[in-house]
Structure formats: C-alpha cells, structure tokens
Structure 1
Amino acid sequence: MVLMGAIGLFLGRYVKNINDYFVGDNSIPPLGGAISNFMSLFSTFVFVAYAGIAYEYGLVAILILWSSVPPALIAAKYFAHRWRRAGLITPMQFLETRYNAPVRQILSWGGIGFKILDSLVRLYSIGLFIAAATPLSLETAILVSGLIVVLYTVLGGIWAVVVTDAVQFVILIFSTLILLPLSIKAVGGLDNLTLTIPAHFTFFNGPKGTPLFLLGYYVMVLIKYNGNWAFIQRFYSVRDEAAGAKMGLITAAFFFVFPVVFLIPAIAARSYIPDLADKEMAYVSMCLRLLPEGIMGVMIAAMFAATMSALSATYNVVAGVLTEDIYKRLISPYALGRNLLLVARGSTFLIGILVTFGALYIGNFGGAFEANKLFTGLFAIPMSIPLLMGILYRRPKPWGALVTIVAGIIIGLILNQDKSISWEAATLLQIVICILIMVVSGWVPSKNPTYEARVNTFFKKLATPISAAEKPVVNEVFMRSLKYLFAIAMSTTAVLFLTMSLPSITKLSGQLSFGAGTICLIGAGILWVQAKSKDKKAISALPEPEAITYQQN
C-alpha cells in the first residue's frame, strides 16, 4: 500500500492540468492500457462471486468469465478508432454534440450513480476476502480498504492508475500462479479431480450453463463493458487509432488466458473442501488451507491490488465526468487550470468516500454476484445503449436516447419484480426493447437543420484519421522516469515475494514464491539497464558546449 501511494505521489508531480489527470496527454502505451483495462474490469469480485460459481458448477464459471473476450475484440475493431478520433476528456463529452445537452446531463448523472453502485459491489467483495483471511470484521475491512484506495487515487490521475495497475498486475498474476499448482497437487492432480467431480468439467453444468442464460449474460457484458467509462477512457488516452486497436486485442488475450488461472483453484475446492458453507469463500478457503502465513499475506495484497485497480479507475473517470461534464458545463464554464484540477481531486475524494460507506450495505442485496447482476440489468444496459449507438450510427435521435434510458430502467424494474420471468429472459427483452426504441427514433426524420449539421460534422470527424500533428510528442524524459519507477516497483515486489518465501522455502509454496521474486528481480534489472541506456543516449545526443576563449587586454 505504501508503494502504491508513493507511485501516486511521484506521478502527481507531472499532473499540471485535467488533460494530464484524465487523459494522460494521450500517451498511454497499448500494453499499459491493456493491463489497466484488464485490472480495471477485474477485481476481488472475480475471486468471490465467480469463485462461488466455480465451486458449485465448475468450468461454466470460466465460460461465464470469458464473456469479457468479445467486448474487447469488438472494441478493437469497431470502437477504438472512433473513441480516439472523438478527441475526448470524458466519455460523456461527445453526447451534447451527438444528441443534446439533456442527454449528456442525464447520462452523466445516471452514469455516476451506476458507477457508484458498481463500485460498492467491488469494495464489498474485497471486504469479504479480507474479513475471511484476517481477524478484521467485514465492516472494518471495508472501511480500511476503501479509505486507502481513496487516498492513493486522489494523487496522480490516470498515469497513477495505469502505472499502479501494471505493478498490481504483476503481484496478482504471480500470486495466483502460486496457488494454481498447489491446488492441483492438493487434490491429487487434474486427472483425479476430473474423476472426483466429472460434472464440474463440462462447460454447461448447472442453471448458469444453459444457452439462454449464457446468451443473456454475454450480450449484457458486451454492452456493459463497451459502455464502461474506464474501458472507453483507455481507448481515447492512447496515441492513435492503431494503438487503440492493439490495446483491445491485448486486452482480449488477457481476458481469455487468466480466468483459467483464477478459477481452477475454486473448482478444486469442491473436492478438497466439499462441505464449504459459503460458496463465495471457495478461493479464500483454498488460500487459507494451502498458503503459509507469509505468502497468504502476499495473496491478500494481490486481492487488494485487483480491487484497488478497479476502484481507482472508476474514481478517476467518474471524477472526470463530474469535473468536465457537470462542474465546467453547468457551474463554472470558464474554469481553467488549477481550479479544474482542484475540483477533479475533490470529486475523486467525494466519490471514494460515498463508495466506502455505501459498501457496508451491499450484503442486503443477496451477495456480490446477485447485486452486480441486478444493478447492471437496471442501469448499465439502458444507459450504455444510447452511448454506444450514438457513436456507431448517425440516425438515432436525442428523443430516442431519452426514451431508451427512462423506458429501459422502468422495464428493468418491472421485469426484476416479476418472479415468473427468468433473469436471462428479462435481460434479453430489456436489451431488445432499448435497441428498438433507438432504431425507431432513427426512422423519424429530424426537422432541426442545426442538429443535422452538427451530427454530420461529428461523424465526419470520426471518419477522419488522426493527423501527424494531432498525435502527441512522446516526452522521453518522462518515459525514462517511468522505466526507473517500474524498476523500483518491481524490485520492491521482488523483495516482497522473496522475503515471504523464506519461512516456507522447503515447501512448494515457498519455492514458487522465491521463483516469482527472482523473475521480478530480473525484470527490474532489465528495466533499470534500459533506462540507463536511454539516459546515456540522450546525453550523448546533446550538442557539445562551445569552447570559451578569453582575450587578453
């Protein structure tokens, strides 16, 4: 946690305006953006909610989690270039041009509310994990976790989010890779596990493996993720369209590979701990049974890192909407510079505090997975469809967007109250109705020539590739500083793994942790050498100072 705060403090020195704070001067590299996308959309929620599904039904949990792959692929193909060419600071900024001011404000305010609800579930999940693995109560775990995330996020803006995401990614991946072989060994190998619980090794086991449920869930996630503000933010924060497409493809690869690593231990828990009372505690229970205390501490840090990433990304992008789309648009249109930056940091703090205290009440909604599913169905779908269709197609009208939002939420409320209608049927029906409203609005001709001209100009901009002059000039000094920062962070991570491995070095868990630390140390060394080499090249490229001659009088 000290490391994350230090990174935020260091990068905060480079934040001079809201463009730096929310867009990173359009200099986020594709790999860094992909890691940040991956970490922002994953959190401890995966190790609680999806782990519970894996424990109860098996591989279907991985199939459900693979629903994250299509959104990334579609974003790479159809959305990446559009988001970058739109030239945004926030995901809501284009809505006033594309539709009108009321649509922008309704989606801004409504989106803020939904993002807060979504963050409540994520913070509740990390609270469950920490409470199960430490002596802390659930309430204390939520409060401590939430306040730490708030304090670190306020400091450094999107660069702090992306850099800490990368460090947290390393901690998370190595920690979960330690548990994976330990879990397989504990149940006598994969062959023995498949013989013990054969039904768990089919992709369509249980009620969540039915074609209708999977169709509903995949379509919902496709809309939700592509309408996710943090997901969109990464695409308009890169250098150009090609970088955005590359980032989307790398993100899809991460979403495909790592769910297997994350959820196999929870499936193994069904054989190893068959009488587990709370299924959502499957992953943490395997950690407690198989990891020594020191390495368990690393795992807690990894789980916390995952949620920190998701929350910090949300806080940053929501603060952007509060600052640019609400404060600057409605309250202080001429605000500039440090004033806006102060508002941005204050907004980040306010959102974080609301989420921290609101997460204490999520248990009343029936668990993490059910709460997330409920909130998504009610709000994400009707608010994301106008956003996505608005940047893809020029025909849908402002009134169509407004009716879609209102009708979609009302339909969601009605269908979720009717117990005779399944969640998947209700979700698909809601999606179809929302899309139909948008399509019908496109058939109705507009009588406003000013609106038509504005929309045509906007879509002409989306069809025009970014020119060389519009692409940011890479700040080589900053990039070298980043390499040094990554090297120091990786060294610190290496020390963490190496130190925690020593008490159990004779066991497989300790040896795996030692190996993870060694790899991190080698990576840190490579980054440091690369940064040093670039420093030397930069110095050698400087012109020789002119000789100074002195004349004698």
Structure 2
Amino acid sequence: MTVWDWIAVAGYFVVLIVVGVQTMRKVSNPDDFAVAGNRIIWPVFFGSLAAAFLGGGASLGVAGATMRDGYVYMFAFFAFGIQTVLVGLFVAPKLKRYLGAHTLGDVMDAHYGKPARLVTGGLSILLCTGILGAQALAIGTVVNATLDIPPTPAILIGMTVTVLYSAAGGAWAVIQTDLLQFVFLGILIPVTLLIGLHAVGGPSALLDALPADHLSVLGDYSLMKFVGLFAAFLLGETLVPPYAQRTFSTPDSSHARKGFVTAGIFSFFFYFIAASIGAVALVLYPDIDPDSALPTVVTNLMPVGLLGLLVAALLAVVMSTASSYLNSSAVVFTDDLYRPLTKQEPSARKRLNMERGLSVLVGAGATLFALTVPSIVDALLYSYTLWAPTMIVPLLGAVVFGIRSAPAALSGIASGAVVTVVWQWVLGSPFGLDGLIPGVVANLVVFSAVAVATNKKYPRRAEPSTQPSLNNTGVA
C-alpha cells in the first residue's frame, strides 16, 4: 500500500469516530439510543438494514465458501434474501403495531409475559455476541490480508473503533455510519469484481477455468447438506434483534415494509458479486486460505490510490454489521434483562449510561469469542443454532397470529432447544442434517399443540396496535 492508501484507510476510521462523537448531541434519551427516535424513513432504513446484514458472512464468508465449494454456497445463501423479502411483506409492518417497543422482548412480554421476555433477552445476547464475534474475526481477516497486520491486533483495532462510535452515538451513529458504509460496499465491491474479471480474461474465461462442480446447483454437497444450510440461512437471522430494532426505528408500517423488501432484493445481487469474487480468487490464487479470498483479490489487483478505498470498503462491510449487533446487545440487556428484574425503574440518564457501558463490555466479549472460533462461517452457524430453533416460532405466532399463550411459548422454546442440542451434539447430526431443522420442527409442534390446548385461557389478540404504549414490562 502507498501513503495515499494508508491515508484513505486512516481517514475512514477518523470519519467513523467523528460521526459517533457528533451524534452524541442527538442522543439525549434511551429512545434516541435504541431506535433513533422512530424517525428513520424507508430509503435510509433500506441502506442501513442492507449494510447491517451484508457483513463478514455475506461478503468474506460467501466469497471464501464459493472459492472452496463453488456457487452452491451462494444458492444456499440466497435463502437469506428470500427470508428478508418475506419478512418485509408479512411481518415487519406488523411489528410497528407495538407502539413504544425497543426490542423483541417488548413483543414477547406483551403476548407471553415477563418470563418469555427474560428468555428472549438471554438468547438475544448470546446470538448478538456470536455474530459480533464473526464480524470481529472478519475484521482481523481483512486487515491481516490487506495491511499485513497480525489478526489479533487487527481485531483489537477494528473492534475498538466500532465500540467507540457505537457507544457514543447509539442507533443514530450506527445508522449514519451504515449509510456511509453502504455507499462503500454498493460501489467499490462491484468494482472489485469487474477488475477481477478483467484479470482472468473475462466472464467466459472464468467459467472455463472453474471446476465443473463449482458451477452446479448442488456442487459436491449432498441434498441433505444443502437443505440444512438453506434452512440455516433462511431461519438463522429471521427477526434477529438488530433487524427488529431497525424496524421499530421507522415511523410507520409502510416504511418498514419498503425498507425490508428493497434490502432483500438488493442482497441477491450482492451475494452474486461476492461469490463471483471468490471464483476469481480460486482461478488466480488457488493456494490461499478461502476466508482471505476477497481481501486477497483486493490487495493484488487494485491500482494504487484505489486500494486504500477498497480496504476501507471491506472494513465498512464488516463494521456496519458489528456496530448494529453491538448497539442491539446493549439495548436488549438493559430493557429485557436489567429493567424487568429491578424493583425501581432506572432514570432515562441511568439507562443511557448503562447502554453505553454495556456496548464496551459486549464488544470485549465478542472480541474474545472471535479469537476462539475456526472461521467466519462457523461463527455464524454456531449463532444461528441458538436462535432459530428457540425464538422463530413463538415470535411469528405472536406477531402474525396474535397468540398469547405463555405455556405454548415457553414449552416451544424449551423443546426446540433440547431437540437441537440432542440432535446436533449428542447424536452427531444424523443423516447429515443440522440440528436447526429438527429443533424448529419440535418447537412448532409443541408450540401449536399447547396453544390449541390453552386457547380458552389465553384468547388470541390480533390487534396489538390498540395498545397506546409499552411500559417497563412491555404491557400497555
């Protein structure tokens, strides 16, 4: 890298910190820190949401897995885009019925009571910390491959900057920096593919150079392995806390729907670009570690002056997701774990200070996790296994169908967790099927059976929007 490239990277970090510091003036209460005052219109929501979920897994992870396994991994990852569009059409608008909500714990409490809120809070923290760890690992991979800095100090530097602006400015800072990062990834990552295609001799030369199984729908995956991965990406990040929090930040259901659907459609194009960069890396640099596919292409092919911007773009892709999960973790801990268990309601100032302090603590925990997992994709899949089998069914039951049975929610969560653990780690994933699928099925069966059995005691409430607001316990 030249001096100008280093200046571009350093300038990017400085801009992020400045945004965080300046945004502190806008953050005067927990509403500003958690949901940006409910003033995020759909174009801003689209850019912020896209930047949040197009992180290390969707960029470095897809590129690396495609280099290793072929486009089959991209086809499996398309499940995430399908899920995002479906949530935008049928679920996200309904979340805006929960007036005053900051977290999914507010939704669970309104339907199933405080115990469900506490369980949701605990699982949300575990999920967010795991995915944060994946992003921290991706930061280390990018910096190590492009700047030749060892992974451990690279992770520490990248996460420190992320924690600084997230803790300072909350959701306002996260959303503003997400938009900046969205511009970086939306322009410079496709430029990387174009330069890579030129280096291999064009699209037809790339196709000729790739192994045949890298171009097939299933590659060398068994059908069961493909189904398991597809299900993991379809359900693993459905209604996860940061995306729900983004939805609560919009002014109404129309903005929530448009933002989600547009982000989902955009994701298909981004996944194809990331996967194709992985294919370019296989042709040009077949001996590198797959997780380094994207940064290696950037480092070796970008012209002087543009390299620094593209390194910043890679960091933007990862840090946008990391900051979203960091902010969400702090808000979830305060609203869904601390407030329900304390006898005295904390003041707005105390809650704001807690959320800022927790951003630092969660960032430290995610950094430690990043130093223990073998790869970015592994970190993501570990996290998905915690969330989908436990939370998806009761959340959809509440938001879409208005179910209010606390026994149904708690028994469904417990059964999904037990079946997943037994299937995945006790039985060793029989038939090559990931434990996420039988866990979700068990949750659905138990939840539905108990909901029907307790229907008279817990009648459905289809219109939570009639609640004027949510108080400390999430009930009007």
Is TM > 0.5 for Structure 1 vs Structure 2?
Answer: yes
Q: Are the equivalent residues in 2 in contact too, given 1:180–1:264 (CA < 8 A)?
A: yes
1:251 Cα offset (Å)? 0.9
Tell me: higher relative CO, structure 1 or 2? Use CA pairs within 8 A at least 6 residues apart. Answer: 2
Taking only aligned residues, the RMSD between alpha carbons, in angstroms, comes to: 2.3
Question: What pairs with 1:96-175 in structure 2 (closer than 5 Å)?
Answer: 96-175=109-188
1:203 Cα offset (Å)? 4.2
1:58 Cα offset (Å)? 2.7
Q: 1:297 aligns with which of 308, 327, 342?
A: 308
Q: 1:316 aligns with which of 302, 311, 327?
A: 327
SS of the residue corresponding to residue 238 of structure 1 reads coil
SS of the residue corresponding to residue 372 of structure 2 reads helix
2 CA distance for matches of 1:311 and 1:166?
14
Q: Are the equivalent residues in 1 in contact too, given 2:135–2:319 (CA < 8 A)?
A: no
1 CA distance for matches of 2:404 and 2:289?
46
Q: 1:306 aligns with which of 293, 317, 320?
A: 317
1 CA distance for matches of 2:55 and 2:332?
22
Residue 368 of structure 1: aligned partner: 376
Residue 279 of structure 2: aligned partner: 267
1 CA distance for matches of 2:119 and 2:82?
28
2 CA distance for matches of 1:445 and 1:409?
22
The gaps in structure 1 that reach 5 residues or longer are 467-553
- Residue by residue over 1:410-466, the C-alpha shift from the partner in whole angstroms, topping out at 9 and shown as x without a partner, is 222222233462453533222211111111111112574xx54xx63xx3234x699
SS of the residue corresponding to residue 362 of structure 1 reads coil
Query: Does residue 1:441 correspond to 2:450, yes or no?
Result: yes
- TM-score, length basis structure 1: 0.77
Q: Are the equivalent residues in 1 in contact too, given 2:139–2:319 (CA < 8 A)?
A: no
Q: Are the equivalent residues in 2 in contact too, given 1:379–1:409 (CA < 8 A)?
A: no
Residue 265 of structure 2: aligned partner: 253
SS of the residue corresponding to residue 226 of structure 1 reads coil
User: Quick one: structure 1 residues 461 and 103, their matched pair in 2 at CA, closer, same or farther if it must change by over 3 Å?
Assistant: closer
Residue 38 of structure 2: aligned partner: 26
In the alignment of these two chains, the number of paired residues is: 455
Structure number with larger C-alpha Rg? 1
User: Quick one: structure 1 residues 446 and 180, their matched pair in 2 at CA, closer, same or farther if it must change by over 3 Å?
Assistant: closer
1:395 Cα offset (Å)? 3.8
1:71 Cα offset (Å)? 1.5
Q: Are the equivalent residues in 2 in contact too, given 1:123–1:359 (CA < 8 A)?
A: yes
- TM-score, length basis structure 2: 0.89
Query: Does residue 1:89 correspond to 2:108, yes or no?
Result: no
1:150 Cα offset (Å)? 0.6
2 CA distance for matches of 1:233 and 1:47?
23
Q: Are the equivalent residues in 1 in contact too, given 2:133–2:379 (CA < 8 A)?
A: no
Residue 415 of structure 2: aligned partner: 407
> What percentage of aligned pairs have identical amino acids?
23
1:304 Cα offset (Å)? 1.3
1 CA distance for matches of 2:257 and 2:183?
23
User: Quick one: structure 1 residues 362 and 425, their matched pair in 2 at CA, closer, same or farther if it must change by over 3 Å?
Assistant: closer
Query: Does residue 1:424 correspond to 2:424, yes or no?
Result: no
Q: 1:391 aligns with which of 381, 388, 399?
A: 399
Q: Are the equivalent residues in 2 in contact too, given 1:378–1:413 (CA < 8 A)?
A: no
1 CA distance for matches of 2:329 and 2:396?
18
2 CA distance for matches of 1:91 and 1:13?
27
Q: Are the equivalent residues in 1 in contact too, given 2:407–2:450 (CA < 8 A)?
A: yes
Return the letter of the residue paired with 1:97: A
Query: Does residue 1:63 correspond to 2:66, yes or no?
Result: no
Residue 206 of structure 1: aligned partner: 219
1:283 Cα offset (Å)? 1.7
User: Quick one: structure 1 residues 147 and 380, their matched pair in 2 at CA, closer, same or farther if it must change by over 3 Å?
Assistant: farther
Deviates more, 1:406-415 or 1:111-120: 406-415
SS of the residue corresponding to residue 168 of structure 1 reads helix
Return the letter of the residue paired with 1:12: M
Return the letter of the residue paired with 1:192: A
